[in-house]
Amino acid sequence: MAIGFTRYAKRSLLSICSQSKRELSTHLEQDGKKSLNLCSAINQALHIAMDTDPRSYVFGEDVSFGGVFRCTTGLAERYGKSRVFNTPLCEQGIVGFGIGLAAMGNRAIAEIQFADYIFPAFDQIVNEAAKFRYRSGNQFNCGGLTIRTPYGAVGHGGHYHSQSPEAFFCHVPGIKVVIPRSPREAKGLLLSSIRDPNPVIFFEPKWLYRLAVEEVAEDDYMLPLSEAEVLREGSDITLVGWGAQLSVMEQACNDAEKEGISCELIDLKTLIPWDKETVEASVKKTGRLLVSHEAPVTGGFGAEISASIVERCFLRLEAPVARVCGLDTPFPLVYEPFYVPTKNKILDAIKSTVNY
Amino acid sequence: MALCIRKSPNVIRILKSKIGSLVNASLTNSHSTPFRAEDLRNPDGVLVAQPTLFMNRRYKAEEGFASQRKVDVLNFPGGKVAFTHEMNFISESYEERIPCYRVLDDSGQIIECSNFTEVSEDTARKMYSNMVTLQVMDTIFYDAQRQGRISFYLTTLGEEAINIASAAAVTSDDIIVPQYREPGVLLWRGFTLQQFANQCFSNRHDQCKGRQMPAHYGSKEHNYFTVASTIASQLPHAVGAAYSLKMDGKNACAVAFFGDGGSSEGDFHAALNFAAVMDAPVIFICRNNGWAISTPVSEQFRSDGIAIRGPAYGLRSIRVDGNDALAMYSAVHAARKVAINEHRPILIEALTYRVGHHTTSDDSTKYRPVDEIELWRSKQDPVVRFRKWIESCGWWNEGSESELRNNVRKQVLNAIQVAEKAEKPSFEDALTDVYDVRPSNLVEQEKWLRDTIKRHPQDYPSC
């Protein structure tokens, strides 16, 4: 089993943020691997990116002292304030600046403090970054741009510290959208995103920054983009998800197994351009598909997966595609347990799909 | 004088309330460099002589000044701020508008005692030739659109001096980050009339592969970022590019263009603020041409134009007569030196007038007086003014004028004919360059498109 989460209990945003003193604590394991949480894995990837390319830069709001989630800890001290620096509080400025920096052949690693605050940069991402190469006939590109941003539910985030806005960006040809599920994945996928010759938005599941811990190789490694991974093989139904939601889906798979239902679980990892073939092959085997994400169900990326798989697997499907997602409401503070796609919501959908 | 005043705190307090902070800064800093008369004759000197004044406005440079004056201060993050017992609101405007720097008067004569950068005969002739070329190209391309030969066009009429003079004042290593009304910069750098025509006709020789509307040029070879139709969104890119040039230790800066309307966009704010905070060597050139499509500047902002915004962000700024090629050349030349040598952003507001319509989709007589357009077209034409000056220098005459215009006209007409006959790009180019390599969905979509074209060839242009 690939997902090595040690704890699943949700913590409040405040308690996550307050762990800054011990967040980077690690202990040495064998074979050049350390047990790391997701935040430290990101931090390690950033160190490697800065080490291996002198033309790489890390910048954003509050990144200089280590960032509000501490992902950029130690970078400014090590690489200097010219390469790791705070920016004014202005998301469109951060991304626009990053585009110009990247267009000059640099690796611009920008941080948007919360994905909920990425929208002032929407025009820069959609009309500028995404079209930079295309509109110039490949004379210019801003492929060195990577936008890191924490996303998703944390228990007490309310409207503006909880959203999962990935689907907005999946409608934009020219951008890649990548979401890791664990520390090991986060390090390898982030290094790939930083070095990919296309602009990438890298959504980091902030719920897992400290809760997800696994052994992470210390060396410089990359994991391929646009390649999904089958995390768990099964024969009755295919479940597709990404990021933090996979741990919830995994629990549902375990419970379903106890009831004799064999689930195949796929981590999409890259949402665009996405690996349709892996999902298609799985659904052709199982005959059923369930997609789950935290974002509201209407217009979510689950809709795209559902439509594509119905196009490709219509005659093999034994039941309608199920979507277990967030409600079509703003992300509600005290109602979060009602809003999110919980394990039992998924389990119910697995059962009703299998018994359709 | 400074010594006398420092002996009397009361006088200082009274003066301070009456005169304002700029005077305070120079009075209280014994290291300040006063303006010298000789600086005023040298435009570079005017900009270069100011650091002390501006250093004072950077809070970190204010260490200790308050104690000299023995006034109560608030030790605020970012620097000390003096308290005052007087409740004075800062005025929303100054009594006098920022003056407009010019060198050539309306009749093309150098204004007495002007401070400007000398321009050689070769440079002056090239500047004039390029201005005429731009004008002729605009006129013929505009007509081509009216004849239905190209889908769209926008002219630079009335703004030729800003285009050409700013291009002439920088080097080809400087990165141009254009809005869309600056094709003259590209022309100056050697982009050929044929290349302009190829882009406007979207043929297969267009380097941008026919993907954008006419007049959206871009050329890596000429360090000219590709034009987008969006307003002001290019400005933050210029800061990023400039920061890169600084970090690489290049003897170059970024030059960003935008219009008066663009100054209302959030990206304008983002770019100026980032540039100041990051000490980026970038020159922002605002073509304040009075009109953003149909919106006059009186409905665009209440400030005294654009230059006044610079100091609020910590940018050195100047207002220039944009129809005076010598003034534009001098200001940009001086700005470039400061930007590169001191790693400072500079804001230049060039006052001009959009003599043409916004684009070929616009009829500006619907919203502005024809008399106003005519006045600027005739009395304020920057090309005519510059011609008068080079004629007075003995560098130009009627013969060279008619020869130039005839040649350019022939070249433009020829370029149009060639561009029109050239093949359109292959349809496959619609699906490349979205990413560095084509992902599987685009491979699939190309195949689908190819099959569709086979079945319904009548639906598609023959490309």
pLDDT digits (tens, 9 = 90+) for A93-124: 999 999 999 999 999 999 999 999 999 999 99
Query: Which secondary-structure segment (H or E) carries A191?
Result: helix A183-195
Q: Encoding tokens for residue A99?
A: 């585009």
- Find the radius of gyration of the CA atoms of chain B: 25
Give A90→chain B minimum CA distance, Å: 7
pLDDT of residue B71: 76
Q: Do B226 and A139 touch (CB under 8 A)?
A: yes
The residue in chain A having the minimum alpha-carbon distance to the alpha carbon of residue B237 is A100
Diameter of chain A measured on Cα atoms: 60
Q: If 0-12 CB within 10 Å is exposed, 13-18 middle and 19+ buried, where does residue A20 land?
A: middle
Instruction: Say if residues A313 and A284 touch (Cβ distance below 8 Å).
Output: yes
The residue written with tokens 């001009």 in the block is B352
Distances, alpha carbon B385 to alpha carbons A117, A159, B131, B137, B326, in Å: 50, 59, 11, 19, 10
Rounded Cα–Cα distance for residues A141 and B218 (Å): 12
Q: Which residues in chain A come in under a pLDDT of 50? A: 1-28
Q: CB-hemisphere CA count at 13 Å for B3?
A: 0
Which of the 8 DSSP states describes residue B224?
A: B
pLDDT of residue A29: 53
- Catalytic site includes residue B57: no
Distances, alpha carbon A91 to alpha carbons A81, B260, B422, in Å: 20, 23, 43
Instruction: Say if residues A170 and A118 touch (Cβ distance below 8 Å).
Output: no
Q: Do A92 and B266 touch (CB under 8 A)?
A: yes
Instruction: Say if residues B362 and B297 touch (Cβ distance below 8 Å).
Output: no
Q: Which residues in chain B come in under a pLDDT of 70? A: 1-70, 463
- Out of B207, B242, B270, the one facing A139 most closely (by C-beta) is B207
Q: If 0-12 CB within 10 Å is exposed, 13-18 middle and 19+ buried, where does residue B113 land?
A: exposed
Q: In B, which residues are within 8 Å of A88 by CB distance?
A: 270, 273-274, 277
Rounded Cα–Cα distance for residues B24 and B19 (Å): 8
What does pLDDT average to over chain A?
Answer: 93
Give B23→chain A minimum CA distance, Å: 29
Its pTM stands at 0.89
Q: In A, which residues are within 8 Å of B270 by CB distance?
A: 88, 90, 92-93, 96-97
Rounded Cα–Cα distance for residues B461 and B292 (Å): 35
Which one from B94, B367, B450, B460 is the annotated catalytic residue?
Answer: B367
B-contacting residues in A 257-276 (Cβ below 8 Å): 273, 276
Which one from A23, A91, A166, A250 is the annotated catalytic residue?
Answer: A91
B-contacting residues in A 152-191 (Cβ below 8 Å): 173-174, 176
Interface residue A127 vs chain B (CB under 8 A): yes
Rounded Cα–Cα distance for residues B356 and B369 (Å): 13
Q: In B, which residues are within 8 Å of A108 by CB distance?
A: 240
Q: Do A176 and B435 touch (CB under 8 A)?
A: yes
Distances, alpha carbon B20 to alpha carbons A289, B12, B13, B23, B91, in Å: 71, 11, 10, 6, 11
